[in-house]
Each structure stands twice: as C-alpha cells, then as structure tokens.
Structure 1
Amino acid sequence: MNFEQARFNMIEQQIRPWDVLDSSVLELLSLVRREDFVPAALRQLAFVDTELPLSGERKALAPRVEARMLQALKVLRHEKVLEIGTGMGYLTALLSHKAQHVHSVEADAELAAHARESLRRSGCVNVTIHQGPAQDGVMAEAPFDAVLLCGSVAEVPQALLDQVKVGGRLLAVVGEEPAMQLQLRRRTATGWTTEVLLETVVARLPGLQEPATFTF
C-alpha cells in the first residue's frame, strides 16, 4: 500500500471538504504518520473515512473529525492540554506538536500502553499518558488551557469543566444519537459560553456516567 498517496487522498478528499483549511493543521496531518498509531491488524485502514474499532466499545475517531477538532481547539505553543480518551494516540501526537505539554487520560490499560509506545517511537516527548478513569481528568495538573474529549458524551462531567482555567476552553461532542453537537465551551470570569460548531455523531467515550432516564 502506498501510504503517502493514501495520506494525500485523506487530506484532499476527506479533510479539506470538511472545512479544515488551517495550513498548520494540514501540514501536521502530512507530517504525523497515522499508520504508525493504528493497531497493526488495521494498518491498511489507517486512512479510511470511518471510526476504527480499538478495544471493547472504544473506537478511534474518523480522520476528518480528528482534524476538525484540532483546528477548532487552536492550541498554542505555550499551552497545557488535557485529552480525555487517548485511544491509539494519534490525536495525542498531533496535539503534542501544537502544545507545550499534553496530559492524556486513557481508562483502558492496553490502549494506554499501545499509545505510550507509539508516541515514544514517534519522538513525542512532551506527552504524559495517565491510565485511569476518564471522568477524573488530571486534577493534580489542573488548570488546563484546553481540554478535549475524544468521544461523545451525554453531558460534560463537572469535574472536567472544573479543570479548565479561566480564559480556557473545552471541546466535546455532546448529545444523544442522532442529534449530537461539536461544542466549544469557553470559561470566563463569570461562567461559560458555548459555541456549536457542527452536528455530527461519534462513538461514546466509555466510563462517563450517563444521565438518569425515566421509564413509565
């Protein structure tokens, strides 16, 4: 398989049409080798426009969703980022090229180990992988300039909102199928603002408590 051609096709046919036009993001997508993070059995599918199965209920985000998230978060070089749901570590690597440091939380021990090794091989030295519950974040390292949830949630846990610094932001896909929204929330001195960027549907981020439902 010609990975370079597949990478080019991914960028031009999937990602640009999804309004990802930031030149720094497109350059990173050309630089960071997605196939080096995908599990070996799925390597030939590294550039397919779909979510990839990882472990149990976990799925890797589709490439166009990862790219749109990276563009929307607008991470700066001096910033500290919290990523919830490391998965295979590819989006973690992209963030590491933008941020001062990335703290990434992964509940699944095998995925955390896979991501650590992939990131090590790729030379990403400004990343710390924390293996533990997603909803806890990394309070010891808070506050963060930016927080990214790599999977959908019914509601953003308050514990994660509390770890965003004033002036910082949190990006997450929020809602229930088939009506989910990619939301960018900004913390101000008096509360929060919410900007809806687009409607999409992505797999749930396991380990986060679902809201109670009522049956009659």
Structure 2
Amino acid sequence: MKLTCYIIDDEPLATEVIASYIVATELIELKGIFLNPLKAFQAIHDDPVDLIFLDIQMPKISGLDFIKSLKNPPAVILTTAYREFALQGFELDVVDYLLKPIPFERFLKAVDKVQRLTKDYPLLAQDRFQDEFLYFQKDKVNYKFVLKDIIFIESQRDYSRIISKDGEIKILQKISELEGKLKNKGFLRVHRSYIVNLDLVDRWCSFELGINGRNIPIGRSYYKMVAEKLNR
C-alpha cells in the first residue's frame, strides 16, 4: 500500500519538481499541494497523511515552526536551499532533508528512508494518535471521545452509533464522514456499516472479526484491505 503525502512549499516551481518525481516513481500517493502553510495545517488535521515534503523558508511561518505547531506530525522530509538549517531539522526528528535544486536520485533515497522506517515500525502511524481525541455532537452538546477507547462505529443510515469503552452515543453524521476523520488513525472500515479500532481486534476470519466480545461482519469488497492491515 502506498504512503500518502502532501507537498508544502510556497515556490510553485519547487512543488512541480517534487510532484513530477512522485508521479515518476509511483512509490507514494500525492494527496495535495499547498503554497500556503496555514491551509496545509488544516488539511493535516482534517485528512492526515503519512509524509510531508516541507519547505523551510516560507512566509508567515517557517517550516521548522510549522513542525513544532503540529501535535502529531507525520514523517517529514525538509526541502531547503539552505544547508545550515539541516541540523535544526534533525533535532525535530525529521526523516531527511533535500537541498534544492533536488536531484532525482537524492529524492529516491529520502523516500526509501521513509518506507524502511514504516516497514520496520508498522504501528508507528497509529502510535502518533494514541492520545488523540475527537468531539462528537448530539443535541447541540459536544462529547469528547479518546480515539484509542473507541471500539467500533456502526452506521444507521444518516446516523452513526459510536461504541467506546466508556459507553456509546448516536450522532447525526454518516459513517462515510467519520471514515474520513479517522483515516490513518488506527481505524478501518471493514463493512459498509462498520468501522473498527484495529488495536482491539482479537480474532478474525474471512467473513467476520471479533472485537471486545462482539462479532462484526467483514464485507466482501473490504476483505482484501482487512486482511492486509491485520496481517501486518
């Protein structure tokens, strides 16, 4: 499965180069390009990705300050025309930095480092979100749910039933909307009517899985993805 990424750089030419490299390699999936880092900040919150290519010198906020502003940052590859910023980047646990103009071979090496890191630590992406939470609204009241405590979500047409270790709540929101919010956060849609917390699955077969003492069906069209995720 491909890693997903954003490019965040206020130089259109630089973003075009990186985007062309991504297309040429077919190793990762480009989810968006942002010339404005403030818009990128909102995108990362709403639709997290595995990796960002991040320029250091940008208006309003530097790439280094941008990393510091993220509570749970994805893997970061810095792109910069200034070598002296590299040390500061590594102090923030970036995976690599690319010096502009970026050679294709150097780009490949950086992406390979991210892929090896993900392969060696397959739960790394999930671990970043263990203490994250979302608020769900019912009757104009917002209720806080810690993501790691949510067991599964069941679709009930325009409503969704969220079952957690602390209880359950029925909200006026479609399961497809919740699927987008929970993407890359340790959850997986296993049926048109169910999303489950992968960490809490204790058994599974070709047609159902067990989670917290309950049986959840696995849809035929979802089985391949479920098997891939659980076999990891």
TM norm structure 2: 0.28
TM norm structure 1: 0.30
Structure label with greater radius of gyration: 2
| Larger relative strand fraction | 2
